[in-house]
A and B are shown apart, each in its own frame.
Chain A
């Protein structure tokens, strides 16, 4: 390789390496800001200030969904299997919303420690299964919820 080309290649590699390091540090510094949601454990540990508008992500705890009969109000508990946060929401839930499903809710904590959600989104995990496989897994007692860990960190 000719010297002037070697020099140019060196400059390009230097720029690329410098940029990678800079972006890496920035991403690390912004770690919490880039996260889409807090986990129930983070909320329980008081990482969110009071009166703050934020998002919370976790699983819908089995057996906790209570829908009102005369309105769209619904109460449920979201969990990361360490801490629980009760959520109240009024509105239309996504089709995928069900017990054991990952969700992301947006809103704020009220004085009673209930998360008043203005929006609820369903989170789908990385597992795809045909109904037959799901039925076979259920029959053998190993349902998807049990062997897929919580999708949040």
Chain B
């Protein structure tokens, strides 16, 4: 098991394996994204009160849910960086922070759009769900700037890993903010199997497809950017030299 673990940490091995997976992941992403967006934005039934504005939430819910995966991902990669000093973990972490910031931003933007129509406000500083999500964006921007501020890449990797591990607690706060405190933001919708009750399959199947699509998008983006990172950091190694001379 430890042998497999250290093999996984080898950038060369990851580069080769991810190269084989990428076409399949991209194909799956295109299928799910197309079905999810077309269904969600063009064919989803309107809500009886919100009308077609509820369609914004197809994108919002999928991106928001996925954005909560970044800190757990950074927790795992950060721990590996600190304990086992695997170079690959830090390459993943670097790009995950940037992607996570974008996901958080899109969550806030789509949420604001919906809120401006439904709540009558773009932003409420007193809502703990909204503010904790903004805090996640700032934390990730903090991780990104911390890395660029430190010149030594090994120190930067360690500092970012530590900040990410500490920042992980915010995910729990985001998740439960709507249950622990009174907020303007609604709690998570419970899904229902019954077509004749609220939150029936007509709503959540499209949302589920969109969630899978966004997760696939996250995987593809992360793999592509990590591959670039590998080539850049390993540019002096023999296998990258060989790869470049072959192409």
Q: Check A122 against B120 for contact (C-beta < 8 Å).
A: yes
- Closest B residue to A37 by beta carbon equals B182
Mask: chain A, 94-133; 1 = CB below 8 Å from B; 0 = not: 1111000100100000000000000011111111111111
Question: Which B residues lie within 8 Å of A72 (CB)?
Answer: none
* A16 vs B84: C-alpha distance when bound (angstroms): 18
| With A12-B83, A23-B169, A144-B198: A131-B48 Cβ-Cβ less than 8 Å | yes
- Complex: how many Å from CA A15 to CA B75? 12
Partner of B117, one of A8, A34, A38, A95: A95
Is A73 on the interface with B (CB-CB < 8 A)? no
B150 interface hit (Cβ, 8 Å): no
CB distance from B162 to the nearest CB of A (A): 8
The chain B residue with its CB closest to the CB of A138 is B48
Majority SS at the chain B contact face: loop
B6 contacts A by Cβ under 8 Å: no
Q: How many whole Å from A8's CB to the nearest CB in chain B? A: 5
Say how far A1's CB is from chain B's closest CB, in angstroms: 8
Please count the residue pairs between chain A and chain B whose beta carbons lie under 8 angstroms apart in the complex: 124
Which among A31, A130, A137, A152 is the interface contact of B180 at CB below 8 angstroms? A31
Structural contact, A128 and B166, CB atoms closer than 8 A: no
Q: How does the 8 Å CB contact mask read for B174-202 relative to A, with 1 for contact and 0 for none?
A: 00000011111011111000011111101
Among residues of A, the one whose C-beta sits closest to the C-beta of B131 is A34
Q: Bound state CA distance, A145 and B46, in angstroms?
A: 19
A128-B198, A134-B48, A152-B182 known; A94-B189 Cβ under 8 A: no
Instruction: Report A's interface with B, CB cutoff 8 A.
Output: 5, 8-9, 12, 15-16, 19-20, 23, 27, 31, 34-39, 55, 57, 93-97, 101, 104, 120-134, 136-137, 144, 148, 151-153
